[in-house]
């Protein structure tokens, strides 16, 4: 795996060693960093609130922007309440920590992100999500009176695959279930508006909790937890939430004012996805993708150096552990132009591993 250190922000073109590379990596699905109006909103937010706010959310002087974002996000997602944290990893970590204290047992999906996994918990990487779901159903009918926490990503970004949780309806009603869904790669892409999948799963026979990063599609360095009054109360009364510094307030203010920009970028991304998947149209049997999601992976490794030779830089690194083999992925973004997608299609159809 070759690293490419650069001294500037990332966009659709990456200058490196005297050559421009078309960039198909990262998690900036909506391409917000390439929108001047969004950058201006961030600058205005910093001018209003300062570069950072290091005090506890519970100090005697409080910034109103945090509660405003929580209320807007909860309303948009169709959730009762929300809790804003400084990162998606912290949101996931705090949520699973509280669930582990409440639950008799924890079941984690094979692709669950490390942020939502208990310490030393190792899901079976060879197990499919379908096999995991069936196993949960079977185990649920073997116990009674248990409180069970089920942990999963909304999306497997490695396959890729969008997960369906309707199978939770088949769990035994003799237990109490908490379903934690990590929406880090769903915010801005899936579900209700830019607000993720909470509304899609809130009618399941489980206490639904959604947590995740706002720093990917939404480009806000923060994390959020969505849930009912009881659980969000536990989050906000925890020592971690009370003791940690909150998110940078200027970015939060920018988020509150960027609704039209997010909608615009969603439309651009959707158009790019439709155009690319129409171009590729199963012309390469070496690709894996879901046309509803802007990530494409390969059935075989080794694509990254081949594409780099053709001027295309994709995602390629060991994940989630350093000893794992590198995973090659193509990521589409709203900032891509049709000529980028055409070039990518040309290279893919004329390359084999």
According to DSSP, the β-strands at 155-156 and 161-162 are antiparallel
- Of 343, 335, 189, the closest CA to residue 279 belongs to 343
Q: Which of 96, 92, 101, 164 is nearest to 128 (CA)?
A: 164
Identify the burial level of 157 via C-beta atoms within 10 angstroms of its C-beta, where 0-12 means exposed, 13-18 middle and 19 or more buried. buried
What is d(CA 182, CA 166) in angstroms, rounded to the nearest whole number? 16
Phi–psi pair at 250, nearest 5 degrees: -65, -40
Q: Which residue has the tokens 């920018």?
A: 254
* 341 touches 335 (CB < 8 A): no
Spans of the chain, pLDDT less than 50: none
CA triplet 63, 66, 72: central angle to 5 degrees? 140
Quick one: 241 exposed, middle or buried, by C-beta within 10 A (0-12, 13-18, 19+)? buried
pLDDT of residue 236: 98
Cα–Cα distance for residue pair 195/188, rounded to 1 Å: 6
Residue owning tokens 């109490």: 176
* CA 336 remoteness from chain centre: 20
Of the candidates 198, 185, 225, which has an alpha carbon nearest to the alpha carbon of residue 90? 225
**Other Cβ atoms closer than 10 A to 219:** 27
170, 200 Cβ separation under 8 angstroms? no
All domains of the chain in start order, with CATH: 13-35+260-349 (3.90.1150.10), 62-247 (3.40.640.10)
Residue 139: predicted pLDDT? 98
pLDDT at 282: 67
Q: What is the C-alpha to C-alpha distance for residues 106 and 109, in angstroms, rounded to an integer?
A: 10
Question: Are 153 and 113 in contact, with CB atoms under 8 Å apart?
Answer: yes
d(CA 227, CA 79): 6
The C-alpha atoms of residue 350 and residue 158 are separated, in whole angstroms, by 23
Per 3-state DSSP, the chain is made up of helix, strand and coil in percentages (nearest 5) of 40, 20, 40
The alpha carbon torsion through 195, 197, 200, 205 (nearest 10 deg) reads -130
Q: Six-digit token pair at 203?
A: 């009618």
Specify whether the CB–CB gap between 116 and 180 falls below 8 A. Answer: yes
The CA-atom distances, in angstroms, between 135 and each of 28, 131, 165, 178, 306 are: 34, 6, 14, 16, 40
**pLDDT of 283:** 65
């Amino acid at each position: 795996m070759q690293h490419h250190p650069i001294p500037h922000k990332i966009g659709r073109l990456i200058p490196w060693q005297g050559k421009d590379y078309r960039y198909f990596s990262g998690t900036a699905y909506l391409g917000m960093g390439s929108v001047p109006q969004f950058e201006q909103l961030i600058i205005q937010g910093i001018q209003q609130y300062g570069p950072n706010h290091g005090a506890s959310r519970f100090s005697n002087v409080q910034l109103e922007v945090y509660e405003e974002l929580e209320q807007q996000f909860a309303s948009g997602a169709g959730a009762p309440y929300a809790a804003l944290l400084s990162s998606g990893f912290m949101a996931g970590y705090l949520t699973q920590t509280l669930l582990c204290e409440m639950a008799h047992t924890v079941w984690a999906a094979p692709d669950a992100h490390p942020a939502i996994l208990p310490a030393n918990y190792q899901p079976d990487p060879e197990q499919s999500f379908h096999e995991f779901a069936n196993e949960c159903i079977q185990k649920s009918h073997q116990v009674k009176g248990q409180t069970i926490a089920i942990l999963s990503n909304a999306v497997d970004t490695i396959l890729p695959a969008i997960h369906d949780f309707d199978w939770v309806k088949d769990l035994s009603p003799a237990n109490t279930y908490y379903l934690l869904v990590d929406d880090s790669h769903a915010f801005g892409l899936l579900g209700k508006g830019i607000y993720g999948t909470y509304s899609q799963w809130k009618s399941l026979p489980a206490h639904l909790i959604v947590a995740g990063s706002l720093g990917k599609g939404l480009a806000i360095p923060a994390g959020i937890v969505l849930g009912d009054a009881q659980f969000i109360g536990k989050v906000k009364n925890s020592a971690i939430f009370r003791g940690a510094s909150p998110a940078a307030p200027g970015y939060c203010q920018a988020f509150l004012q960027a609704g039209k920009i997010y909608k615009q970028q969603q439309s651009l991304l959707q158009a790019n996805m439709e155009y690319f998947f129409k171009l590729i149209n199963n012309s390469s049997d070496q690709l894996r993708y879901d046309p509803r999601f802007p990530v494409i992976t390969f059935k075989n490794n080794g694509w990254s150096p081949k594409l780099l030779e053709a001027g295309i830089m994709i995602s390629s690194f060991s994940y989630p552990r350093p000893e794992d083999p590198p995973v090659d992925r193509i990521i589409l973004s709203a900032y891509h132009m049709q000529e980028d997608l055409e070039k990518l299609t040309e290279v893919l159809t004329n390359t084999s591993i």
